[in-house]
Amino acid sequence: MGLPMKIDHLQVTVKDINEVESFYDGLMEALGFDLNKKIKVYLEEMDMDVIEYLDKSYDFGICSALKQYEEETIHRRKPGAVHHIAFRASSRNEVDRIYKTVLELGAKILDEPQIFPQHGPNYYALFFNDPDGIKYEIVNNDDHF
């Protein structure tokens, strides 16, 4: 058996893709994605707008909700929902840098950067919600591996 497979891409459904595009542009750029490699398309056969942030390591995308779901409340504990997405930072300074960026983008900060001893002695993380309430984490865990 070989190494575990790596993630190729993630795609998150948002309520109004046009309202959150600038937030995600800023977040993805802070995470190291080159906005020159961003793709924005409308898939007519699916009636879906898609924005993809492309990179060699993996791609991250957002897509529009079906019209009948645009007003639904997002809750990360619903079956089938993403609980949260965590991005690994290379250092605590990187976590702090991204914290400043997401503040400027208007993210709702759930937990400012700090050690979370319940996850380990070096688990330094930031937790925030995007404009729709989707939970994200930026973490550096020096003793992870």
CATH number among 2.160.10.10, 3.30.1300.30, 3.10.180.10, 3.10.20.30, domain 1-69: 3.10.180.10
pLDDT at 145: 44
Domain residue extents for the chain: 1-69, 83-145
**Whole-number Å distance between alpha carbons of 12 and 132:** 11
What fold is seen in the domain 83-145? 2,3-Dihydroxybiphenyl 1,2-Dioxygenase; domain 1 (3.10.180)
Do 83-145 and 1-69 fall under one CATH topology? yes
End-to-end CA gap in the chain: 20
Average pLDDT of the residues in 134-140: 97
Question: What are the pLDDT digits (tens) for 48-86?
Answer: 999 999 999 999 999 999 988 888 888 888 888 889 999
**Whole-number Å distance between alpha carbons of 58 and 52:** 10
pLDDT at 53: 98
100 CB-near residues (< 8 Å, 6+ apart): none
| pTM flag (> 0.85) | yes
